[in-house]
Structure 1
Amino acid sequence: MRRLIYAFLFLLISTTAFSQIRTITGRITDQHNNPLPGATVVISPDGKQTSSDQTGAFKITATAQAQLIGVNFVGYKLFKQKLTTANHYAISLQADEAVLDEVVLVGTRSTGRTRLNTAVPVDVFNIPKLQMMAPQNDLNQLLQYASPSFNSNRQSSSDGSEHIDPASIRGLGPDQLLVLINGKRRHTTSLVNNQGTMGNGSVGTDMNAIPASAIERIEVLRDGASAQYGSDAIAGVVNIVLKQNTDKLMVAATGGITSRGDGQVGQLNLNYGTALGKNGGYLNLTAEGAYRGKTTRDQNNDLIIFDQSANPTRAYDDAQLKARGLTRDDFNFQIGDAKIQNLSAFFNLGVPFKNGKTEFYAFGGYNYRTGEGFGFRRLPNNPSANVYSIFPDGYQPNTTSKINDRSLAFGFKQKLGNWNADLSNTLGDNRFDYEVNNTVNASLQDKSPTSFKAGGHEFLQNTTNVDFSRKLDVASGLNLAFGAEFRVDDYQIRAGEEASWKNYALITNPDGTVSNPSGLAGGSQSFNGFSPGNVVHKNRSNTGLYADAELDVTSKWLISGAARFEHYSDFGSTVSGKFATRYKITSKFNIRGAISNGFRAPSLHQQYFSAVSTDILPDNTLGQSGFFINNSPVAKALGIPELKQETSMNYSLGFTAQPFANFNISVDGYLTAIKNRIVLTGSFGYDAFGDPVPQVQSILNSYGVSSARFFSNAIDTRTIGVDVVADYNIKSANHTYGASLGFNFNRNKIIGDLHIPGQLKGQEDIFFSPNDRTLITEGTPGVKTNLALNYGYKNFSLLLRNVYFGKVARNSFPYGEEQIHSGKVVTDLSLSYAVKPITFTIGANNLFDIFPDQQIYANSYFGVFKYASVQMGTLGSYYFLRATLDLPNKKR
């Protein structure tokens, strides 16, 4: 009987409890009403949990004892709320500024991955924090001092490369790095770097055209990603994520100057965000204006100043200087950073529709830049390049630039059942116009103007994408994505005014040959204008299809794969693939690795760029050097083959660890092998000893040049290295301490034989010169280390950063030699104090005035160039003061 009573009571209690179980539903979004799939929902103290689906929706049961509902999602603040009698909850998560920069979008099409849990290495840089404290002002320099694998330095006396800084990662080319904005492809510039700078012969992306104040964070994917994102992603991907904040107005003013009293900087940044509508819409606006003065890093040279044909002694120079009231200082070259003025405006827009399934978005901007760089001084000893009635003591030309960079992306995100769809179009255009001043066309003599419009070039790219993705309840989670891309590239060169390129001293002989009996040079000196023979307008299209999958086989094991097919209208078809995996040995230790193949089609610039410029010729004299396209008569006469695409294989293996609280570290080794790498040839027209080759000169003379260069798939390379990234942050009462270490070891090597045509055998050092070889193998630091220490106390913040730039090399073959520039440590120090709503920051870049090693005399062009533009550049110590105003948006 007692057992029967116990059974009855148990059944009664169970039935009562069961009747009190209820089902709770809801939807989880971010502050902009975007769904957050994969968020963890927990009922306490029941301990039951579930995850939100692709729409952010969830369903879970709770007993009568349930008191709290909690939601956790990486990158957002933990949400807790007491349960009421309601059975449906609309939950909006707020971004956690402390961990938001850990969540990555690049390298994965899944959601919620952090940089320590991805299958490939990704660095994340919080740009507002860097912009507040760091001495650097433009985007390239911010990354140069924050990322060990990123390299960019300013060039001098290098035509257009003085105005658009080339940038690369892991020592590879600027055109082997793909740049995205909000995950959409960014157009490259119209400029070909061709003056012996880093990235010689390449075409990069002008990241300085994007105002840093518009950026929330930058993600740097350090792994080959052609299968995921297409051509140009051989070295990796930089994804720039724009701000979406709607809660404040930010105004920052910066002033600075070098220890030598030049390189003055004035910069004003404005950023404003506001909410749109009632569905989580946003509009973020940015405007930025910046001025950077030129720097002068010259010294006396040993060049002969005056014509000594009648009196061939050095004393003649001294006598002439004294007679004219001049000194050798008056004939120094202007060497240093160019003067730059930059105006930018950017916007980022998102408008969710009321139905909760559709969102319209758009972003883009405009950048206008003018610059002034300087060419080689024309000394009065050269009558062929002088008009003495205008410049009796010679002259130093300057080249000014007008660069217009425009972009607009827009699209719709749509929920289609369980699928997320994204249809977008991205248009970008870069136009570069040149003007040459303080110069002459010597062949016009007294009639010569001193300023010339020299023409320019332009590149336009339009990319249309359609993407689909969804998450499936397979194993521990499967994310599928596929899509298509259609891209059109358009490249053109515009001619300058006639006097900028024409030689009026040329005459046609009775036999039809052309000669120059006066020997006078034509065109604007320092930078010849583009001639009608250089004019080109070409375009091509590209169609791509991709598929991408990420499977969490278990809660510990992730595998991912991608495949991509692309067809070029001018290069045919190619297929690339990628496989990556990550395994959690413990909750604090992951191993990861990837293997992929990649490709990069020759840019339209590399196929169709042609020009004539003044350069130091192989016989160590100034003269005219020409660039010719590969299907030109000159190229065919010399046996130069047409271009084909580069291909690559990428391998990476590494681990991430969090051995104790607030400390994390990642170590990744990599190997990138590139076949048929596109480079510039050396100067045909001279032999390996710098002596003219008559049979080649006879071909080139009719084109008004003494040497000729071409693009060629000349070499295969192998890059091997390791990246180490570590962070440690602690907080104690009112004190915060932080340390971050980045280390990159990198070795570039040319492997195998040159791909030299049979008829050019014996001219290996001309086909691919030792100076270009050195630029590729040792042109960027083989070791780079960034160590930053942060300290905060109440309203004070301190940044101390040391960056070690390892040794590099430059080669001035054939008239100079290879020189190793030893490694250097550059120290940054800045201090800020906040008096709400204003924060004042004062500090210095290169506190101890460190410069690269001085050039050996043989490489200095008779003492003209004291330094090469390597490592940290030639700015020296730079001091700055910045005031930043943060005001909340009261309309919110």
Structure 2
Amino acid sequence: MKRNTLLLASLALLVGNIAFAQEIEVEENNALDEVVLVGNRSNNRTVVNSSVPVDIIQVEELIQQAPQLTLNDILNYVIPSFNSVRQSSSDGTEHIDPITLRGMGPDQVLVLINGKRRHTTSLVNYQNTVGNGSVGTDLGAIPISAIKNIEVLRDGAAAQYGSDAIAGVVNVVLKDAPGGDASLTYGQTSKGDGETYNFNGSYGAKLGRNGSIVFSAVVSERKKTTRTGDHNLDIYGDNFAYDFADHPDDARAADDALIAANGLTRKDFRFQIGDAQIRNQQFFVNAETELADRFELYTFGGVSLRQGEGYGFRRLPNEVPSESRTIFPNGFQPVLKSNVNDYSNSTGLRYKTLNQWNLDLSNTFGLNEFKYNVDNTVNYALGADSPTSFYAGKHSFLQNTVNLDIFKKINSNVNLAFGGEYRYEKYQIEAGEAGSYEGGGSQSFVGFSPENAVKGDRHSVAAYTDLGLTFGNFTADLAGRFENYSDFGNTINGKLALRYEYIKGYSVRGAVSTGFRAPSLQQKYFSNSYTDLYISDNGTQSLVTKGIIRNSSDLAQNRIGLDELKEEKSVNASLGLTFRPTSKLFITLDGYFIKVDDRIVLTSDITDPSLEAIGVSAARIFSNAVDTETRGLDLVVSYKTRLGQGNFNANLSANVNETKIVNYHFPSSLTVPFNQYFGDDQVNIIETLSPQVKGSLNLGYDIHRFNFLVRNTYFGKVIKDGYPWGSVQEHSGKVVTDVSIGYDLAKGVNLTIGANNIFDIYPDKQVYENSYYGVFKYAPVQMGVTGAYYFARLNFRF
């Protein structure tokens, strides 16, 4: 009741102040009038006159006031068409949060830094989370203190930027001005866990006559959260769960007696379910300087080091073989430790000729390494002599991109840009120690074996042209791009974007484009074994080893009958209206349609007798299995004015989005049933696991030495398939409220306190059959399962 009242009050305040705005002066400088770097290569387009929808997020303001302190979390709460949810018990996906834009996959969003392509992570999401089977970009590897603002282009842009830009582009613009800032943040959840310690800071100075250099750093730690309770699993008995016993009450009583005899309680046998523990150390630099007249050198990038601790399924005493019970007499819960190291650098030269041609030659390097260690575990095949810790191997991804971009403003009506790109990519898997994979391997996370180990690479070349036209109130952007990949061939894509301002401040805009996404090297070469649940026809459940096998393998193509991977192809169309009746109020409404053919996905669990030879009971394989269509609508209302003695701003934004599978590609030679090739569990992940409706109302007010923030975010309903156990369940929509109050203690010193999810809202509790007998109280959907988080932050500017 309280949060509904607060939401209605926020809406009333917004409407009332829009009316009041007509009589109040407002400052003209805001994000709407900033030149945007994405969407075109002209240097005179702003959010207001862009032919496609672009959001500019002022990060420097948010990291002072908002509860969120990572790029994923910030965008999740300010851009409704953007989604990111922390996962639990999902191996590496616990340590790198997958992101989506406009309902598309994490690998269908291109990330740039200062307009240069950012490399993806080496991690494949395969634990039936959002973005299953995809490889995204780790936004969490970019230190938040290095960021000036973020531009989010909500439109297809593969014709301009190449592979992956099907749903849109996120461009991170780094700080480039002298001055310094720092902040110290402490926070914890309402349950007393999930403690967060964060230091971030940056310092910029002049470099040469017209240059600058900015150093940025982040050191942070987020401790684990626990969101589980007592379960109904038979701890010492042989019933698996009390539900299967002839007399459930007697089975529980027998368990209670053994628990007490061992000096333990039921709490000692709870599963660790919740956010993983994460530590980050990050350092970035952004520099540019004038070497000579009209000749500039620039470089930016840095390093991110992350250490994560997540948890696998608990092994109860009745599941542990007798030999291994000498090590863990009361069972054990394995710990997956990760070291995620990320390195990047872009270095380039800019030159402006005497006749005003702008040349930009750059080299961009990126490397992501993901190392696995498993602790508090055993290899059952080694019996009582098994170690309890194993190095389980690593995977890495390297990308190096050389760009030549040439631009000239021909006259006041015509801008011309063209250029080329050469990109080299390499993916590698290294085997772990023998005990991590031999004889069934380490429990919970099976190490990479020599059969999984691989080195694969490729290169691509591209050429593009980009033309911008302005004639009175009419603007047009036309782009074309040719790319050739060494592993699948050529592709040509184009884009046309138009805008017409029919009355001053009122315009109509639209775009149509074709696009593509090359199969990632990770999707081509990744293979592993992993632990999952198996449920027999009579309901008996057990932990078994499954695997992901390469699409190019003889087993996948000749035995199971899959086709070779090829690129995804897309068509993107949008139509929108923009309104700016006053300098204080800006409204955009954009509808969009995205069609993706030959979308690359992971199959459902395939069973085949031939899989026994590689030691797995079921396998999943990457395939161009489906065509999808996505339809949606974005609304953004931005408003800023003077209110009394202070400044008031309001942002109302909403997204309605629906993705449907419209066609299946069932290979003619396929030897397995359709429900194994692409079953309802995988359909659910694409169509209904992300909110189809999401909205945010952000209200801010600054007066004298105080600043206030109230933000209500609505996460619409989702539908989750309980696979591999349980049923399909609808989780109703929820409103999450963030609040903060800041006070300037002195010049350049601010203290802010506040909360994310102040009313402690969770997704609906899972029905019993989906909870794994009470283990998983909540599903990691919508806003996640952290609950209320309270924080205090000390900010400095100098």
1:486 pairs with 2:396: no
Say whether residues 1:322 and 2:244 are aligned partners: no
2:464 maps to which residue? 546
Where in structure 2 are the equivalents of 1:79-478 lying within 5 Å? 98-99=30-31, 102-246=34-178, 248-278=179-209, 280-308=210-238, 314=251, 315-355=253-293, 357-384=294-321, 387-416=324-353, 417-473=355-411, 476-478=412-414
Q: Is contact 1:300–1:332 with CA below 8 Å preserved after alignment?
A: yes
Give the whole-Å Cα distance in 2 for the aligned partners of 1:661 and 1:541.
48
* Matched letter for residue 372 of structure 1: E
Q: 1:881 & 1:327 partners in 2: Cα distance? A: 36
Deviation at residue 633 of structure 1 after TM alignment: 3.0
Given candidates 508, 511, 529, the residue that maps to 2:447 is: 529
Instruction: Give the corresponding residue for 2:709.
Output: 799
* Change in CA separation of 1:228 and 1:618 when aligned onto 2, cut-off 3 Å: farther
- Code of the residue aligned with 2:692 in structure 1: it is G
Partner deviation per Cα, 1:48-87 (whole Å, 9 max, x = no partner):
xxxxxxxxxxxxxxxxxxxxxxxxxxxxxxxxxxxxxxxx
In 1, the alpha carbon distance for the partners of 2:317 and 2:756 equals: 39
Aligned with 1:445: secondary structure? helix
TM-score, with structure 2 as normaliser: 0.93
Counterpart residue number, 1:557? 474
Q: Is 1:778 the counterpart of 2:688 in the alignment?
A: yes
Deviation for aligned residue 1:856: 1.1
- Residue in structure 2 matched with residue 622 of structure 1 by the alignment: 543
Q: Secondary structure at the match of 2:220?
A: strand
- State the shift of 1:319 in Å: 3.0
TM-score, normalising length from structure 1? 0.83
Give the percent of matched residue pairs that are identical in Structure 1 and Structure 2: 51
Q: Which residue of 1 aligns with 2:21?
A: none
Aligned residue for 2:681, secondary structure, equals helix
CA RMSD between the two structures: 1.6
1:381 alignment partner, SS class = helix
Q: Distance in 1 between the 2:686 and 2:260 partners?
A: 46
Identify if the C-alpha distance between structure 1 residues 727 and 100 changes in structure 2 by more than 3 Å, giving closer, same or farther. Answer: closer
SS at 2:318 equivalent: coil
Deviation of 1:761 after TM superposition, in Å, equals 7.0
CA deviation after TM superposition for structure 1 residue 555, in Å:
1.6
Seen in structure 2, the aligned counterparts of structure 1 residues 286 and 358 have a Cα distance that, compared at 3 Å, is same
* Native 8 Å contact 1:721 1:744 kept in 2: yes
- Quick check: 1:101–1:217 contact (8 Å CA) kept in 2? no
- Judge conservation of contact 2:560–2:671 (CA < 8 Å) in 1: no
Give distance in 2, aligned partners of 1:385 and 1:641: 45
Q: Is the 8 A contact 1:349 1:361 kept in 2?
A: yes
Distance 1:308 1:118 in 2: 65
One-letter amino acid of the structure 1 residue matched with residue 270 of structure 2? N
Q: Check if 1:592 corresponds to 2:502.
A: no
The Cα of 1:332 is off from its aligned counterpart by: 1.0
Structure 2 equivalent of residue 576 of structure 1: 493
> Is 1:758 aligned with 2:695?
no
Measured in 1, the distance between the counterparts of 2:146 and 2:298 equals: 16
Secondary structure of 1:772's match?
A: helix
Quote the Cα distance in structure 2 between the aligned partners of 1:288 and 1:361.
22
2:10 paired residue number: none
Aligned partners of 1:814 and 1:260: how far apart in 2?
Answer: 30
> Does structure 2 retain, via aligned residues, the 8 Å contact 1:101–1:126?
no
| C-alpha deviation, 1:471, in angstroms | 0.9
Structure 1 partner of 2:16: none
Contact kept in structure 1, 2:533 and 2:724, CA below 8 Å:
no
Amino acid at match of 2:567: Q
Separation in structure 2 between the aligned mates of residue 488 and residue 137 of structure 1, nearest angstrom: 33
C-alpha distance in 2 between matches for 1:746 and 1:532: 43
SS in 2 for 1:103: coil
Partner of 2:777: 866
Once the two structures are overlaid, the 10-residue window that deviates more, 831-840 or 481-490, is 831-840
What's the secondary structure of 1:160's corresponding residue? Answer: helix
The correspondence for 1:609, drawn from 522, 526, 534, is 526
- 2:221 alignment partner AA: Y
CA contact (8 A) 1:101 1:124 kept: no
Give 1:765 deviation, angstroms. Answer: 1.4
Q: Tell me, which stretches of 5 or more residues in structure 1 are unaligned?
A: 1-94, 504-521, 686-695, 888-892
Distance apart, 1:96 and its partner CA: 8.8
Other-structure match for 1:49: none
Where does 1:794-873 land on structure 2 (aligned, <5 Å)? 794-813=704-723, 815-834=725-744, 835-873=746-784
SS at match of 1:353: strand
1:802–1:733 CA distance, 2 compared to 1 (3 A): closer
Deviations 1:110-151 (A, max 9, x none): 112111211111011000011110001111001111111110
After TM superposition, give the deviation of residue 229 of structure 1 in Å: 0.2
Structure 2 CA distance for partners of 1:768 and 1:102, relative to 1, 3 Å: same
On the 8 A contact 1:380/1:386 being kept in 2, the answer is: no
**Deviations 1:804-862, CA, capped at 9 Å, x for gaps:** 00011110235322111110000000000112120110000000000001111121112
Q: Helix, strand or coil for the counterpart of 1:617?
A: strand
1:841-885 Cα shifts (integer Å, max 9, x gaps): 000000000000111112111221111110100111100000111
Contact map agreement 1:740 1:788 (CA 8 A) in 2 = yes
Please say if residues 32 and 48 of structure 2, whose CA atoms lie closer than 8 Å, have aligned partners that are also in contact.
no
CA distance in 2, matches of 1:660, 1:363: 38
Select the structure with the greater relative contact order (CA < 8 A; seq sep ≥ 6): 2
Deviation for aligned residue 1:98: 3.5
Residue 680 in structure 1 maps to residue 618 in structure 2: no
The CA deviation at 1:385 is 9.0
The secondary structure found in structure 2 opposite 1:550 is: strand
Cα distance in 1 for residues equivalent to 2:639 and 2:447: 54
**SS of corresponding position for 1:758:** coil
- Structure 1 residues 861 and 653: alpha-carbon distance in aligned structure 2, compared to 1, 3 A threshold: same
- Cα displacement string for residues 171-216 of structure 1 (whole angstroms, at most 9, x for unaligned residues): 1000000000000000000000000111000000001100111000
Q: Deviations over 1:227-270 (max 9, x none)?
A: 00000000000000000011x22111000011110000000011
Secondary structure of the corresponding residue to residue 622 of structure 1:
strand
Q: Which residue of 1 aligns with 2:13?
A: none
CA distance in 2, matches of 1:197, 1:762: 24
Alignment partner, residue 634 of structure 2: 723
Unaligned runs of 5+ in 2: 1-26
Pairing 1:488-507 to 2, within 5 Å after superposition: 488-503=424-439
Conserved? CA contact 1:594–1:652, under 8 Å = yes
Which range moves more in the overlay, 186-195 or 106-115?
106-115
CA distance in 2, matches of 1:385, 1:228: 61
3-state SS in 2 of match to 1:702: helix
Partner of 2:12: none
CA drift at 1:762:
7.0
Q: Deviations over 1:485-506 (max 9, x none)?
A: 0000100001000000001xxx
Partners of 1:618 and 1:604 in 2: CA distance: 33
The code of the aligned residue for 2:531 comes to T
Is the 8 Å Cα contact of residues 386 and 394 (structure 1) preserved in structure 2? no
Checking the alignment, whether the CA contact within 8 Å between 1:618 and 1:813 is kept in structure 2 is: no
Give CA deviations for 1:345-371 in whole Å, capped at 9, x if unaligned: 00000101341x110000001000000
- Deviation string 1:425-465 (CA, Å, 9 cap, x unpaired) is 00000000000000000100011000000001000000000
Letter in 2 for 1:776: I
Q: Is the 8 A contact 2:378 2:442 kept in 1?
A: yes
Distance apart, 1:317 and its partner CA: 2.2
Q: Which moved more, 1:259-268 or 1:765-774?
A: 765-774
Match for 2:697 among 783, 787, 793? 787
Match of 1:528, SS state, is coil
